[in-house]
Chains A and B, each alone.
Chain A
Amino acid sequence: MTAMSDFTIMESAETLRRIDKLPLSLRGAQVRTVLLPTHPRSSLHAFLHGMLSRRVEVVRRTAEAEEMLRPVLEDNRLALPMDSWLKSKQNSLCRAAAAHALAHWRYSPAAQAIDGLKPIGRRVADAIEDARAEALLLDDYPGLRSLWKPFHEADESSGVSLDALLARLAHALLDAEYHDGNFWVDKARRLFDAQRDHLSDYSGFRHLASILANDLGQMRVRFEPDSGRYLRYRDDNTWLWAPDTETVVIATNESNEKMDDNPSDSAASGAASEVPTERDDAAQATALYTYSEWDYRLGREHPHWATVLERAPTLGELDAALRANVAADRLVRLPHCRTRRTTHPSIIRRRYLQSEGDTLDIDATIMLRVALRQGSLPELNVFSAIRPSPPETSVLILLDLSASTNEYAAALEKRATCQLAERLNDGYHRVAVHGFCSDGRHRVFYHRFKDFDTPFDEACRNRLLCAHSGLSTRIGVALRHAVAQMRAELPRRVKILMVGDGEPADIDVFDPRYLPADVAHVIYTTRRRGIDILALSFASGATASEVADNATNKGDEDIRQSQLVYNANTFTAAMARAHAFIAQ
C-alpha cells in the first residue's frame, strides 16, 4: 500500500464506471461493445484545466484524522477531503478550494527552503502567502472573492489563539469592509496594504511575515498546530515548502531496501516475457509503424510511443477438430443478414414522384397536365431524383492472438472469423482479416491473413486456423493500426469487428487502468471519425456465465448488454450479433 491508496480519483466515479465497463472489467474474458460518448470530467477539472491551460487531477482524499482535514496540493494534483466536509457545503468548498489552488499554482513558488523558520513563523508565512496569492488572482478575477468570502467568518469573538488570529488576519486581508480592531491584525493589514502595489514581490511578503511572526512572539501567543477549523477551503501549504532533507534520505533508503528485498520478482518477470516463438528480432517485420498511446493520468497521448511490426504469423499444427467445426459451420443457416440491396454500389435508385429532383418524371407530368385541364387537384410531385445509395461496406476483422486467449476461446474466435469472412464474400462487402499480439510497447505484432483485395481461399483459411496464439494484448495500438488501414477504404462505410477476449494487458504495463483507458480513447476517437467498432468476445462456458451473473447482479442494463460473452453454446447468437452490426 502506498500513500496514494488514500486517494480515489474523482475524475471520477463516472470515468471509472466507464472504464470499468471497458475491457478492464472484461476479467476472465468478455465481449465489448464499448464506447465512451465523451471524456467525462467534472466541472472542477474543466475549470482548472481552462484556467491553467494544462490538465490537473482532482482527487478525493479520505479523511481519517484531524491532520487530514485540509486539501493537499501537488504539482499536478489537488486532493480534497470531501468526506470531512458537510454535504451541504461540499460544492462551495470544492470550488473555493480549486480557486485557492489555482492561486497557488499561478503565483506561489513551490518548495521554498524553510531556512530555519520556526513553526509559528511558518504559519504566519503561510497565511501571508495565501493572502498574497489570492490577492493576485483577484486582480484578474474579482468574481472569485464571492467564492472565498463566506468562509471568512473569524472575528473578535473568535479569540486570540494563533488559529483565530491568523483567521482574523485572513478575513481582514480579503474583505476591505471588515475592521477587526485587534492591534496585531490591524498592523498586519496596514503593512500588507502598503505593499499591495508589489504583490508579485514574494520576498517582500516573506519579510512582512517574519515581522508579524516576531510580533506574535513578543505578544506571547503560543504556537499551536493548525486545527483546520477555519478557512477549510485552504490547503495545508505543504506544497509551498521543500521537504525536510532528513526525511527524504530516510524515505530513499527505505525504497532502496524494498527493491533489494525482491530480486526474484524482476528475474521472474524477465523470464515470463521470454517467449521463443514470437520474441524474434524486429528485422523479421515487413513494415514498421509508430503510434501514440493515451495516458489517462496525463490526459494526453504519448506521441510515437508504440511500434507496430507487420509480419507473417507464427503457424502451428492445424487442429482437425477445429477444421471440422469450420466445415460444419458452413452448413448452418444463420438468421438472414439483413443487408439492403441498395448497399450494392451498382444499384442506384431513381426515385419517382418526388417534390423536387433533377429531372421531370414524364408520366407524372402528363398526369399533372391532364389534371389541370380537367380542373381537378393535380399531384405536384412530378420530379424524379437519383438519391445516393449507401456506399459499399468494408469490414476489418481484427483477431486477438494473445496468450490470454485460451485454446477454447481461440478456436471459437477462429471459427467466427472464418464464418464471417466466408459469408461476407458476397459482393456487397469488402472484408479483411488481420490479427495481433504484443510483447511490450515496441513489439506489437500485426498479421495480415487476408487483405481487402485478396480472396479468402483455402491457403488463407489454413493460415488463419493454424495461427499460433501467444504473448500479450495491446489492443489500443493494434486498433490504431487497423484504423489506419481503413482510411484507404473511405468513403465506403467502414467497420471494425474485434474478435478476442477483449482484455488488454502487456508485460510493460502495471497500472490496470492504463491500457483499458487507451482502448476507450481509441474507440472514442475512431467512432468520431465515422468508423464503427464492435468487439465480440468468447470465453469458456464457466467464465462466460460468471461474467453474465456479475453483470446481472449489477442491475445495470447497459452493462449487461455490453458485457455479453459468448461460448460454444451461444456461438450462433454471436454470429447473429456480428451480422447485425455489419448490416446496420
Chain B
Amino acid sequence: MQQNRMAGYRIKAQPYFRAVGDEVELFEAAHRLKLPVLLKGPTGCGKTRFVEYMAWRLGLPLVQIACNEDTSASDLLGRFLLNRDGTYWVDGPLTLAVRHGAICYLDEFVEARQDATVVIHPLTDERRMLLLDRKGEAVQAPPEFHLVISYNPGYQSELKRLKPSTRQRFVALDFDYPSASHEAIVVAAEGGVDPALAARLVDIAHRSRQLKGNGLDEGLSTRMLIRAARLMRDGLSPLSACRLALSAPACDDAEICTALQNFAEAHFSA
C-alpha cells in the first residue's frame, strides 16, 4: 500500500545530470550520515535536476515542494478536512515524505512563512522527528528520509534571509553555472543540438552574466539555453529562438533585452 502511494513520487528514468565536481559524493556522504542539505545557487543552474538525479541514484521517492510566501506550516504538515462523517486528517507533503522515507525537497525555502521554517527544526537534528501538534503525533523519520532545501541568495531582500538558527542545521552545497565547455556539453545533450551551436548559446549566457547587477538580476540560466536549443532543433531560426527563450523573458528593461538580443545577433545572422 505504502509502495503504491509513493509510486508517483519515484523517478522512473535516469535524469540527465553531469557532475561538475564531487557534488554527488558529497550528497551521498550527507545522506549516509542523515545530514540535511542546503543547496544554494542561481536560478536554472541545475539544483532541482541534481536532487532528481540523486533521488534516482539512491532509489528513493522524491517529494518536491515549491515554497512561496503563503506556504505555511499546515501546508507542509497537513490539516484536518471535513467530509460527511466529520473531520479527517490529511498528511501534507512533508509528513508524507517523512512517513515513507522519501527525499523531501523544499525549493526556494526562504520564501516560506516563518512558522513553516520552524517546523522542520526537529527533523534536522538528532531527533529526526516531525511533530504534528494538531494531531498529537510525533512521526519518527526512517533512515531513508532526507531533507533538502534550496534557495537563491542572489536576489533575496534582507527580509528574506535564512535565519542562522535554521541555516546552521544544514550542510551546504554551493551551485553555480558550470564552466563554458561543461555548460555547452549539457546544453548540447539536453537541447539536442550540435556542440558548436551549444557553445554559441553558452557564450550568449556568459555575456549576459556580465550584466548581473547592471540591469539584470540574474544572467541567462542553463535552463533557458536548453529551451532555446530545443526551439532551434524544432526548426525555429536561431534569432527567433533566442528572442523567444532568452532575451524577451530575461527582464522587462527594453534596453537590456535589446542588448541580450544583440549578443545573439553577434553569433547568428538574420
Name A residues whose Cβ lies closer than 8 Å to a Cβ of B: 38-47, 49-51, 53, 55, 95, 99, 140-147, 299, 356-360, 365, 368, 372, 382-383, 388, 487, 490-491, 528-531
Residue numbers in A under 8 Å from B67 (CB-CB):
none
Known: A47-B259, A50-B208. A356 touches B84 (CB 8 A): no
Q: Number of residue pairs across A and B with beta carbons under 8 Å? A: 100
Shortest Cβ distance from A259 into chain B, in angstroms?
37
* CB pair B114 A487 closer than 8 Å: no
Alpha-carbon distance A382/B79, docked complex (angstroms): 13
The residue that A491 contacts in the complex, of B159, B211, B214, B270, with Cβ under 8 A, is: B159
The answer to whether B214 touches A49 (Cβ under 8 A) is: yes
CA distance A95 to B260 in the complex (A): 13
A388 touches B114 (CB 8 A): yes
Chain B residues with CB under 8 Å of A95's CB are 262
Ordered by A's residue number, 17 sampled pairs between the chains whose C-beta atoms are within 8 Å are A38-B253, A41-B255, A41-B256, A42-B255, A43-B259, A46-B260, A47-B259, A51-B263, A140-B203, A142-B269, A144-B265, A146-B269, A147-B265, A359-B80, A360-B82, A360-B87, A388-B115
Would A487 and B214 be within 8 Å (CB), given that A46-B259, A51-B207, A388-B114 are in contact? no
B74 close to A50 (CB less than 8 A):
no
Complex interface bits, B55-80 against A, C-beta within 8 A gives 1, otherwise 0:
00000000000000000111000011
CA of A199 to CA of B182, assembled, Å: 28
B266 within 8 A of A: yes
How far is it, in angstroms, between the C-alpha of A295 and the C-alpha of B253 when the chains are bound? 23
- Say yes or no for B32: interface residue by CB 8 A criterion: no
Instruction: Judge whether A50 and B253 touch: CB under 8 Å.
Output: no
Interface string of B154-187 (1 = CB under 8 A from A): 0001111000000000000000000000000000
Tell me, yes or no, whether B113 is within 8 Å of chain A by CB.
yes
Q: Which residues of B contact A529 (CB under 8 A)?
A: 157-159
CB B87 to nearest CB in A, in angstroms, measures 7
B255: chain A residues within 8 A (beta carbon): 40-43, 46
Q: Does B267 contact A (CB under 8 A)?
A: yes
Residue contact B159 to A530, C-beta cutoff 8 Å: yes
| Assembly CA distance A51 to B203 (angstroms) | 10
Q: Contacts A50-B207, A142-B269, A382-B82 hold; do A39 and B259 have CB atoms under 8 A apart?
A: no
CB distance from B131 to the nearest CB of A (A): 14
CA distance A142 to B256 in the complex (A): 22
**4 nearest A-B residue pairs (beta carbon):** A46-B259, A50-B207, A43-B258, A141-B266
A356–B87 alpha-carbon span in the complex (Å): 14
Shortest distance between the CB of B104 and any CB in chain A (Å): 20
In the docked arrangement, what's the CA distance between A55 and B258, Å?
17
B202 CB, nearest partner CB in chain A, Å: 13
Not counting A38-B253, A47-B263, A51-B266, a sample of 5 additional A-B residue pairs whose C-beta atoms are within 8 angstroms of each other reads: A43-B255, A46-B215, A47-B259, A50-B207, A144-B266
Interchain nearest-CB distance for B153 vs A (Å): 13
Given contacts A53-B210, A368-B82, A388-B113, contact A46 B256 (CB under 8 A): yes
B267–A143 CB distance below 8 A: yes
Which residues does B use to contact A, with CB under 8 Å? 72-74, 79-80, 82, 84, 87, 113-115, 134, 157-160, 203, 207-208, 210-211, 214-215, 253-256, 258-260, 262-270
Q: Do residues B158 and A531 form an inter-chain contact, with CB atoms below 8 A?
A: yes
Q: What is the bound-complex CA distance between A50 and B82, given in angstroms?
A: 57
B211 touches A50 (CB 8 A): yes
A579–B122 Cα distance when bound, in Å, is: 43
Which residue of B82, B113, B211 is within 8 Å of A46 (Cβ)?
B211
Pick the most buried of B215, B268, B270: most chain A CB atoms within 10 A of its CB. B215
Q: Could you tell me if B270 and A46 are in contact, using CB atoms closer than 8 angstroms?
A: no
The smallest beta-carbon distance between B209 and chain A, in angstroms, is 8
- Choose among A39, A142, A368, A372 the residue that contacts B214 (Cβ–Cβ < 8 A): A39
By beta carbon, the residue of chain B nearest A55 is B214
A358 and B214 form a contact (CB under 8 A):
no
State whether B210 touches A50 (Cβ < 8 A): yes
Report the Cα distance A95→B266, complex, angstroms. 11
How far is it, in angstroms, between the C-alpha of A551 and the C-alpha of B254 when the chains are bound? 28
Nearest chain A CB to B162 CB, angstrom units: 12
Chain A proximity of B76: nearest CB distance (Å): 12
Residue of A nearest to B252 (CB): A38
Collect the chain A residues with CB atoms within 8 Å of residue B211's CB: 46, 49-50
Give Cα distance in the complex from A63 to B201, angstroms.
Answer: 39
CA distance A43 to B267 in the complex (A): 17
Docked Cα-Cα span, A531 to B158, in Å, equals 8
- A358 and B158 form a contact (CB under 8 A): no
- Which residues from chain B contact A490 at a C-beta distance below 8 Å? 158-159
A40 to chain B, nearest CB (A): 8
Query: Contact check: which of B82, B210, B266 meets A99 at CB < 8 Å?
Result: B266
Complex: how many Å from CA A49 to CA B207? 8
A530 to B158, Cβ gap below 8 A?
A: yes
A47 near B87 with CB under 8 A, answer no
Give the most central of B79, B214, B254, B263: most A CB within 10 Å: B214
* In-complex Cβ contact of A358 among B79, B159, B215, B267 (8 A): B79
CB distance from A417 to the nearest CB of B (A): 25
Q: List A contacts of B270 (CB < 8 A).
A: 146
CB proximity of B178 to chain A, nearest CB, Å: 18
The CA-CA distance from A299 to B210 in the complex, in Å, is: 13
For the complex formed, measure the closest distance between the CB of A364 and the CB atoms of chain B, giving whole angstroms: 10
Closest-by-CB residue of B relative to A530 is B157
Beta-carbon nearest neighbor of A43 in chain B? B258
Is there contact, CB below 8 Å, between B80 and A49? no
Closest chain-B Cβ to A370's Cβ sits at a distance in Å of: 13
Quick one: closest B residue to A493, CB to CB?
Answer: B159
Across the interface, which residues of A come within 8 angstroms of B157, CB to CB?
Answer: 528-530
Bound CA–CA A143/B84 (angstroms):
68
Q: How far is it, in angstroms, between the C-alpha of A487 and the C-alpha of B161 when the chains are bound? A: 12
B269 touching A50 by the CB < 8 A rule? Answer: no
- The minimal Cβ–Cβ distance linking A553 to chain B, given in whole angstroms, is 29
The docked-state distance in angstroms from the alpha carbon of A44 to that of B258 is: 9
Q: Which residues of A contact B203 (CB under 8 A)?
A: 140
Bound complex: CA of A359 vs CA of B78, how far in Å? 11
Give the distance to chain B from A350, nearest Cβ to Cβ, in Å. Answer: 14
Contact A50 B259 (CB under 8 A): yes
Chain A residues with CB under 8 A of B207 = 50-51
Contact flag A50-B263 (CB < 8 Å), given A41-B215, A146-B270, A360-B80: yes
Shortest Cβ gap from B205 to chain A (Å): 10
Write out the residue numbers on chain A whose beta carbons fall within 8 Å of the beta carbon of B269: 142-143, 145-146
Q: A41-B215, A49-B214, A53-B210 are in contact. Are A358 and B72 (CB under 8 A)?
A: yes
Closest to B79 in A: A358
Please, how many angstroms separate the alpha-carbon atoms of A253 and B258 in the complex? 46
Residues of B within 8 A of A144 (CB): 265-266
Give the Cβ gap from A496 to chain B, nearest Cβ, in Å. Answer: 13
From A41, A388, A490, residue with most partner B Cβ within 10 Å: A41
Closest to B155 in A: A528
Task: Select B262's contact among A47, A55, A357, beta carbons within 8 Å.
Answer: A47
